[in-house]
Amino acid sequence: MREQITRLRLLLVAILAVGLAGCETYDAASGDEDLSTSITDSSSFGSAPELIWIEKAKDYYNNGNYGMSERYYRRAIEERHNNAEAWLGLAASYDRLKRFDLAERAYDQLIQIAGHTPTVLNNLAYHHMLRGDFSTARQTLMKASEKAPNNPYVKRNLQLLDSWEEKAGVSPT
């Protein structure tokens, strides 16, 4: 029951804060969509020890030190396995490190926790773009656009995708 309430809260937050994290990929400092899990989890009784690690990870990520951000996002997940924000940051860090296999596993965990929110779809699309899978990236961005039609991050990623496809000599599908 408590897990269902947490999922409903996440869904409500996602609906209310339809913004996406980052242009292109995760922007840890944007705070546009709250993907953190409810602090009412009885395992911490009102505290959120993983937030210390998430803040450090965000700083490293925003400064381009993706190896250190990956390290601190993993620590946050060790503190609280169901923290969607930590999984999102971990996946984005792995993408930047070109560890796509690990990024996919992190996205799978993230989707189990948060579902297919606009932020998750946006970042997942960028993941596919980095891998050169432009068709899947476009499909994923279109789903994000359906959920958040006026979101500037999705629009910018669609423009970026158009540019990458043009450079690669691929026509949009």
Q: How far is CA 77 from the centre of its chain?
A: 14
Crossing angle for the helix pair 84-96 and 50-62, to the nearest 10 degrees = 30
| Cα–Cα distances in angstroms (integers) from residue 10 to residues 34, 90, 121, 126, 159, in the given order | 8, 19, 15, 22, 29
91-106 confidence digits (pLDDT tens): 999 999 999 999 999 9
- Using alpha carbons only, what angle is made at residue 10 by residues 123 and 84, rounded to the nearest 5 degrees? 45
Torsion of the alpha carbons at 79, 83, 86 and 88, rounded to the nearest 10: 160
Mean pLDDT of 50-72: 97
Residue-level pLDDT at 114: 97
Task: pLDDT band for 84, please (50, 70, 90 cuts).
Answer: very high
147-164 confidence digits (pLDDT tens): 999 998 999 999 999 999
Residue-level pLDDT at 37: 42
Residue-level pLDDT at 28: 39
Return mean pLDDT, the chain: 81
131-142 confidence digits (pLDDT tens): 999 999 999 999
Q: Which domains does the chain have, with CATH numbers?
A: 2-168 (1.25.40.10)
How many Cβ atoms are within 10 Å of 47's Cβ, its own excluded? 10
Residue 24 has pLDDT above 90, yes or no: no
